Chains A and B, each alone.
Chain A
Amino acid sequence: MKTFIGIDIGSLATKIVLLSNGKMLDHRTERSTYDFKKIGHKLFDDLLEKNDLEKSDVFVMSTGYGRNTIDIADDRVTEITAHAKGTQYFFPDVHSVIDIGGQDSKAIVISKKTGNVVDFQMNDKCAAGTGRFLEVMAHALEVPIDQFGDLALRSNKSASISSTCTVFAESEVISLFARGASKEEIASGIHRSIARRVAGMSKRIGVGPKLVFCGGVAKNPAVKKYLEEELGYAVETPEFPQLTGAIGAALIAETNNSHKYS
């Protein structure tokens, strides 16, 4: 029996999963550094060691921003195809996916008939509407990133953040403080601006229920809540929202190569 590894090298986090017979056996997540290769190798070696495997026992499919730079990969796939497949691991009847990662956000529509991607949309090169935007804003408000969403949800009203550029939005936050807005209100406004931007982009390609929200930002409860308000329907989040890309890559590796090992 061959085992399959999916490694998703994102701009902020690197995720790796071990999979066999369609079941995830193990996984790791660690912050990406400038040295994609180093962090990828570290997670890969650790996963093999803990599961008593050799490199020759596994087939590796890479995805994500650094998919082309990691030399342990036997094949590669884009994160768009990988997320579409990975969300089906948790929700087989998924129609649409919104993935908000560190550097970009994506909306994907999946064919109910084939399970394949039929359309997708990605944000522009700027960081607005991504995890990076949230990080910069959390830093400006001096709030730990893992508490940022909860802080936003403590407010009944949202300050209006009109800038779509991360740099300008940071200045806008400072001027909101100067005008007496509370930290909670500003945090709520920041989360709403991401949700509005991503929902707008997603509607252009006809996303609809069942919609699965994944990527690192899906762990943030405020973005999820505001996305639901912007879209007008409930949004599902998988058990491991950050892992869908890596799981998808491993599933694709298994589908494409399992015949070689049966």
Chain B
Amino acid sequence: MDDSSLLSEFTLFLKEKKQEGIKVIAYLAHDNIPEELIDAAGFFPLRLIFGGNDELMDASHDFLPPSTCAFAQSCIGLFSVKPNDYKFLEMVDYIIVSNHCVSDICVSEIISKYFNIPRLNFYVSYTINENSLKYFKLELQDFRNQLEVIIDRKISDDDIHNSILKFNNFKKKFLEINELEMLGSEKLKLIHKSMLFGPDFLHDLENLIQKVKNAPQSVSNTSKDVLLTGCSIFINDNMIDLIEEGGGNIVFFDTWIGNHYYSQIIESNLIDRENDPLDVLVLRFKNNIYGDHSVPDFLEQKVSFIQKYFENYKKNKGRKLGVINHIIKFCDHISLMSSFLKETLQEKGIQVLNVERDYSRANRGQLSTRIEAYLEMMK
């Protein structure tokens, strides 16, 4: 299924939701948005996980300077242009204004203000300590109140528990994608579809995972295995094609759209109906060690994680693993940490390619050269 078919299928899916009277809450899909609360209130959580192109970036310049994160530019462009594949954005009822990064704030504020979509606020702390955990719980309570005002009723603790269980079970199944023997682009399609449709896709996901387990897909022996870190590859982005055309295969997605999301599993025994369900969500925030910048010593943790993965991969698979750090232009904090990440990993004997790009077609040739040259280095 190509990305256009995925978006058509999603449009039909969302139309059905709307016909059932379900409202849609959109947000930039960072890891700390409490989608369980959105679900418990009877809304559909729509992650904005769509890549861009020249036209979308250009369209955003009426609202943002061109030196803003290219993903942020594209999100604005999508709401401004509403290309055919993205007509479903007209079905968005609310947008969450949050602060994962400066671009997150800009995009959500602009979408709300200039495209007349009512806002909901959910702000998170950049660090994890006792105070930020208390603050996170206050934000959850406030967010719950905002939702209750819209639906004009209380959201029961039981409903929140049920949603936590639903998303937790979905993520457990989703996590199995990491171990599947299949081409990276196919794996990414599965990740995209799962993150777009959410737990409604669980049954299909179970079947697809079982199918691949029964008949692993062959991947060329000559391709070079790669761990992708840094910025995510979003829907309708050709970055993964460039990697595969160059002879690489992404075996692990250490990104927002990938392991950062589905590894946030809460141990079942901690989801206790006797306790406040918001405390369970606070625990998820506390355990979010893969989050991009809400963890103290984030870089050290990232280096340690990649190093362990690299060593285990070599030991278990007997194959060398490359690391591509994908930097979407003007994504400030991924850019800032890229030199440190590369230097530190290279000191440990892990070769890293920092590849910075936006969604412009013009740099396709240079990107291919960088990726191919890196894969040649791995020979």
Residue numbers of A with Cβ under 8 A of B are 65, 68, 77-81, 104, 116-120, 122, 124-125, 204
CA distance in complex: A119, B376 (Å): 11
B365 touches A78 (CB 8 A): no
Expressed in whole angstroms, the minimum distance between the Cβ of B53 and any Cβ of chain A is: 15
Interface hits, B17-45 → A, CB 8 Å: none
Whether B377 pairs with A122 at a CB distance below 8 angstroms is no
Most chain B CB atoms below 10 A, which of A78, A104, A118, A204: A78
Partner of B369, one of A80, A116, A118, A119: A80
Selected contact of A122 from candidates B339, B351, B366, B376, CB within 8 Å: B366
Which residues of B, 330-379, contact A by the 8 Å Cβ criterion? 339, 346, 351, 356, 360, 362-363, 365-366, 368-370, 372-373, 376-377
Q: Which residues of A contact B351 (CB under 8 A)?
A: 118-119
Q: Are B360 and A81 in contact (CB under 8 A)?
A: no
Q: Does B377 contact A117, Cβ atoms closer than 8 Å?
A: yes
Contact of B373 among A78, A124, A125 (CB under 8 A): A78
Interface pairs (16), CB distance under 8 Å: A68-B368, A77-B376, A78-B372, A78-B376, A79-B369, A80-B373, A81-B377, A117-B373, A117-B376, A118-B351, A119-B351, A120-B373, A122-B366, A122-B369, A124-B356, A125-B362
Residue of A nearest to B367 (CB): A125
| A122–B373 alpha-carbon span in the complex (Å) | 11
B-side interface mostly: helix
A124 — which chain B residues lie within 8 A by C-beta? 356, 363
Residues from chain B with Cβ under 8 Å of A118 in the complex: 351, 377
A97 to chain B, nearest CB (A): 12
By a CB distance below 8 angstroms, the chain B residues around A79 are 369, 373
Distance of A244 Cα from B26 Cα, bound (Å)? 53
| Distance A78 CA – B248 CA, assembled complex (angstroms) | 14
Quick one: CB contact mask for B41-52 with A, threshold 8 Å, 1 for yes?
000000000000
- When A78-B372, A125-B360 are in contact, do A104 and B366 touch as well, CB less than 8 Å? yes
Q: Does B373 contact A81, Cβ atoms closer than 8 Å?
A: yes
Interface string of B176-202 (1 = CB under 8 A from A): 000000000000000000000000000
Q: Are A125 and B363 in contact (CB under 8 A)?
A: yes
Chain B positions within 8 Å of A122 at CB level = 366, 369-370
CA gap between A80 and B368 in the complex, in Å: 12
Alpha-carbon gap, A124 to B360, bound state (A) = 12
Task: State the 5 A-B residue pairs at the shortest beta-carbon distance, nearest first.
Answer: A80-B373, A125-B363, A78-B373, A81-B376, A78-B372
Closest CB in chain B relative to A124 CB, distance in Å: 8
Residue with the highest number of chain B CB atoms closer than 10 Å, among A81, A116, A204: A81
Rounded to whole angstroms, the CA-CA distance of A104 and B366 in the bound complex is 8
- B57 CB, min distance to chain A CBs, angstroms: 13
- Which residues of B, 226-285, contact A by the 8 Å Cβ criterion? none
A120 vs B346: C-alpha distance in the bound complex, in angstroms? 13
Enumerate chain B residues within 8 angstroms of A81, measured Cβ to Cβ: 373, 376-377
Query: Which of chain A's residues have a CB closer than 8 A to the CB of B365?
Result: 65
B330, chain A: closest CB distance, angstroms = 12
A78 touches B369 (CB 8 A): yes
Q: Which residue of B lies closest to A11 (CB)?
A: B365
How long is the Cα–Cα vector from A189 to B135 in the complex, in angstroms?
55
Docked CA distance A79–B351 (Å): 19
**A65→B373 CA distance, assembly (Å):** 12
Q: A104 CA to B362 CA in the complex, in Å?
A: 13
CB of A142 to closest CB in B, whole Å: 29
Residue of A79, A120, A204 contacting most chain B CB atoms (<10 Å): A120
Closest to B358 in A: A125
User: With A and B bound together, what is the CA distance between A204 and B377 in angstroms?
Assistant: 18
Pick from B362, B370, B376 the residue with the most CB of A within 10 Å. Answer: B376
Q: Given the complex of chains A and B, what is the CA–CA distance between A122 and B376 in angstroms?
A: 16
Q: What's the least CB distance linking A82 to chain B, in Å?
A: 9
Q: What is the distance, in angstroms, from B246's C-beta to the closest C-beta of chain A?
A: 9
What is the distance, in angstroms, from B174's C-beta to the closest C-beta of chain A?
36
B366 CB contacts on chain A under 8 angstroms: 104, 122, 125
Contact digits for B128-169, partner A, Cβ 8 Å, 1 yes 0 no: 000000000000000000000000000000000000000000
A18 CA / B321 CA spacing, docked (Å): 36
15 new A-B contacts at CB < 8 Å, known A65-B365, A65-B369, A118-B351: A78-B372, A79-B369, A80-B376, A81-B376, A104-B366, A117-B373, A117-B377, A118-B377, A120-B370, A120-B373, A122-B366, A124-B356, A125-B360, A125-B363, A125-B366
